[in-house]
Structure 1
């Protein structure tokens, strides 16, 4: 199993846009329904206001690295990333879980 974890936070150069942010998060939460080989998918919002915290966390899982490699260029993922780049920055960690 390959885990794909991503943290998102609003870009420092972008003013908070609650409605746009909510739309992006809903799209993130539903992306797994568009990609049949996603094995696990969860988007959570940060609940504490601390400088070290990011705004959202995506926890996902794929059968193997090949499945993750197919996910990254998937058209539904690319379309979402195109819009996310306007509002969020992110950091990712990919690792194998046995």
Structure 2
């Protein structure tokens, strides 16, 4: 199994309640049921307010590197990521468990 973690930081001046941010969140929430390779899918806003904290997180899992590649290349994932590129930056970690 591979864990795929993503942490998002909203760009300066961008707030959670903006319509484009809400659209990005909904696009990610929909991926859990849209992409069959995902065996685990969680995404949510961070509930803490610390200077080093990121704003939004995805915690997901897939069976193997081939499934991870299919997930990353899936059109729904690409479309959701494109939305987030407009208002956030992110870091990822993929590891076997």
Regarding TM over 0.5, the answer is yes
Alignment of 1:26 with 2:19, yes or no, is: no
TM-score under structure 2 length normalisation: 0.90
Dislocated runs of 4+, deviation >3 Å: none
Match of residue 81 from structure 1: 81
**Structure 2 matches for 1:43-58, cutoff 5 A?**
43-58=43-58
Unaligned ranges ≥5, structure 1: none
- After superposition, the C-alpha distances for 1:26-75 in whole angstroms (9 at most, x for unaligned) are 21111121111210000021112111000011000000111001111111
Match of residue 39 from structure 1: 39
> How far apart, in 2, do the equivalents of 1:17 and 1:37 lie?
29
TM-score under structure 1 length normalisation: 0.89
> How far apart, in 1, do the equivalents of 2:64 and 2:58 lie?
18
Q: Could you say if the C-alpha distance between residues 5 and 17 of structure 1 is closer, same or farther in structure 2, counting changes exceeding 3 Å?
A: closer
> What is the RMSD computed on CA atoms of the aligned residues?
1.3
Unaligned ranges ≥5, structure 2: none
